[in-house]
Amino acid sequence: MKLTIHEIAQSLYLPLGTVRRWIRQGRIPIHKNGSDFVFNEAILSKWASAHNLAFAPPKKGPEKQQDPELENLFSAIKRGGVFYDVKGDDVASTLKVAVENINVLNNHSKENLYQRLLERENLTSTGIGKGVAIPHPRSFLSDADYRPFITTCFLEKPIEFAALDNKPVFVMFILLCPSVKSHLHLLSRLAFCIRDDSFVDFLKTFPSSDKLLLKIADFEEQLDRTDQY
């Protein structure tokens, strides 16, 4: 098998200089033939594992897929759906109704999610003020295969949520993510929007889902601008 020395160094996860030196010193079973580096893949791979080194030769064909990009609020909210006039008198009943609405999950997962949301609310309230709550489980669900989503629930009547500023909550964003990274990513973006009073005022008008998504896209554009420097 013939590879350039750069490819060899990459597949062994070693600096180029080290591989060059090892070949010169005869420490690695690679033979230099003119400008080519010749080796037997099986022997090299055996050698690498005997010496506690990783060896992953470049694959022929399509590249392995990269980690999916972190999703934005826009697609997460779109996936989760927007619901209006969610009924309920207290936190538990409201959450129960809200979770029933989530059509991304099956019944078993819904029950599971509901238990976890309650558990999380019992620790501290997710009502972050200004009448907004972001219920989310403490750890992500393990039994369901899903992509991050945010389900927006406008409540029929504001309920007492033991929020930070003690204001009754009129809208909930139920946030569910498969990884800590995407959870933090979405949470911080959502918090950025809610920090802006005009956004909260906008929410109080119970906008239609299209309008809401437009507004979100608008805010995300702002966010992306400030992130670049």
Residues marked active site are found at 136
* Closest of 20, 42, 45, 44 to residue 32, by C-alpha: 20
Per CB under 8 A, the segment of 25-33, 69-77, 96-104, 148-156 that binds another protein is 25-33
The contacts found for 204-211 with CB under 8 angstroms, 24 or more apart, are 204/131, 204/170, 206/84, 206/154, 208/82, 209/81, 209/82, 209/152
What is the distance between the alpha carbons of residues 81 and 78, in angstroms, rounded to a whole number? Answer: 5
Strands 36-38 and 149-159: unpaired
Binding-site member from 2, 6, 24, 211 for another protein (CB under 8 A): 24
195 binds another protein (CB under 8 A): no
* Closest of 61, 20, 27 to residue 44, by C-alpha: 27
Per CB under 8 A, the segment of 43-51, 55-63, 108-116, 121-129 that binds another protein is 43-51
Per CB under 8 A, the segment of 11-19, 80-88, 94-102, 170-178 that binds another protein is 11-19
180 binds another protein (CB under 8 A): no
186 binds another protein (CB under 8 A): no
Binding-site member from 5, 10, 45, 53 for another protein (CB under 8 A): 53
Per CB under 8 A, the segment of 18-26, 107-115, 118-126, 197-205 that binds another protein is 18-26
Helix boundaries (H) for the chain? 5-12, 16-25, 41-50, 73-80, 91-101, 107-123, 180-195, 197-204, 209-227
Instruction: Please state the closest distance from residue 136 (CB atom) to another protein, in A.
Output: 23
Instruction: Please state the closest distance from residue 16 (CB atom) to another protein, in A.
Output: 9
2 binds another protein (CB under 8 A): no
**Secondary structure of 169-215 in the HEC alphabet?**
EEEEEEEECCCHHHHHHHHHHHHHHHHCHHHHHHHHCCCCHHHHHHH
25 binds another protein (CB under 8 A): yes
What is the distance between the alpha carbons of residues 190 and 175, in angstroms, rounded to a whole number? Answer: 10
Binding-site member from 8, 14, 133, 177 for another protein (CB under 8 A): 14
Instruction: Please state the closest distance from residue 47 (CB atom) to another protein, in A.
Output: 9
52 binds another protein (CB under 8 A): yes
Q: Count of residues for the chain? A: 229
Strand partners, 129: 132
Binding-site member from 1, 4, 38, 157 for another protein (CB under 8 A): 38
Positions touching another protein (CB under 8 A) are: 14-15, 17-18, 21-28, 31, 33, 38, 40, 43, 50-53, 227, 229
